[in-house]
Amino acid sequence: MPLKIEDIKAKGYERVIHATNETTKLDCIIVIHNTKLGPALGGVRSWEYSSFEDQKRDALRLSEAMTLKNSICGINFGGGKAALNLKNVKKTPELYQSYGELVEFLKGKYLTAGDVNTFKEDLVECSKATKYVYGINVETSGPTSRGLFHAIKSTNDFINNSNDLKNVHISISGVGKVGGKLAILLAKAGAKITAASINYELIKKLKKEIDLVEVKPEDLFKTNCDIISPCALGGAINRSNQHQLKCKAIAGAANNQLENTTIAEWLLKNEIVYSPDYLVNSGGVIAIACEINNTENLLEKYLEKIADRLKPVLQESKKNNESTDLVARRMAWKRINS
């Protein structure tokens, strides 16, 4: 069966398509949010969505975040995202080959990479049907964790007037590919680590490498610490836990960490510094941009620049008494529209 492609109207988005293939069980939404800086670059999230609306909502929100991320981190790509629904569907090579066909259909307007639950082997299958797939030769969790490490140093400098992380208490929610690597970098820098994960095996493995205090996932955000680092799924800071926070700052790898923009305003009023997720977690997309542009030799320099880009966001937020989210969005859109 061939692909069935349907365009969906969404205000403020350049293109939204829903594609299905009965034979391969493909059910995918690709969102192209903004391409003023270049073709839309964003990963494909493979997830079990309970409804079409949930799938669409996720793709729309994530694609806008990619526009902001790609702009504020200084790369010349627009924002896009794909959400592939795995509800009652088994992952197969054919599934990702048909996703590749869909990407090819867009003729380079959207460039795909990996995201949650999409792995190298899936991208290899995509590459059999399209040339617009990246991240196969780049492991992005390492650059993401290193970029975040630089951002945490910058955040600590802002809240504690010191670049030194020795004895700084950092609580990490989620110690998977990025969070685990981050924990090791922080421990080497002398930070005190508290960590939580829904996967106890990951904590067990990490404990063999570094000293850490383990807490239950539901207790992580109650930790009295300097910085909380959400490194699992989105919506980590929300109405149900915002009042439990006992940290000075938040800087993590998860996308869409705040449930909504009102949380950003609440954090400002309660003097908790929020380092915007789409800036501090941009190391992965920077690495993919380096792969596309053949500038891998400059990667570490670009990762260090994340700290330099964060500094004016935090300073302007303090000076104007505006949320860091608002400031970062303004900076991102200024670059897009200049």
At which residue do the structure tokens 């061939």 appear? 2
Distance separating alpha carbons of residues 249 and 267, to the nearest angstrom = 9
Domains of the chain, CATH where assigned = 4-66+79-126 (3.40.50.10860), 141-337 (3.40.50.720)
pLDDT digits (tens, 9 = 90+) for 37-63: 999 999 999 999 999 999 999 999 999
DSSP-assigned states of every residue in 120-163 = HHHHHHHTTT-S-B--SS---HHHHHHHHHHHHHHHHHHHHS-S
Answer whether residue 1 shows pLDDT above 90.
no
Tokens of 272: 């908790």
Amino acid at position 98, single letter: S
What does the alpha-carbon distance between residue 25 and residue 69 come to, in Å, rounded to a whole number? 31
Amino acid at 139: E
Of the candidates 257, 71, 69, 86, which has an alpha carbon nearest to the alpha carbon of residue 174? 257
Which residues are designated catalytic? 81
- State yes or no: pLDDT of 256 exceeds 90: no
pLDDT for the residue numbered 268: 98
Helix (H) or strand (E) holding 112: strand 110-114
DSSP state of 138: -
53 CB-contact burial (10 Å; exposed 0-12 / middle 13-18 / buried 19+) = exposed
- pLDDT (tens digit per residue) in 151-180: 999 999 999 999 999 999 999 999 999 999
> If pLDDT is split at 50, 70 and 90, which confidence band does 95 have?
very high
Q: Which of 125, 106, 66, 136 is nearest to 288 (CA)?
A: 136
Q: What is the pLDDT of residue 139?
A: 87
* pTM score, whole prediction: 0.93
pLDDT confidence tier of residue 279, bands split at 50, 70 and 90 = very high
> What rounded mean pLDDT belongs to the chain?
96
Of 59, 44, 37, nearest to 112 by C-alpha is 44
Residue 234: per-residue pLDDT: 80
**Could you tell me the pLDDT band of residue 320, with boundaries at 50, 70 and 90?**
very high
* Residue among 276, 254, 80, 278 nearest 177 (CA): 254
Closest CA to 33 of 56, 1, 60, 53: 60
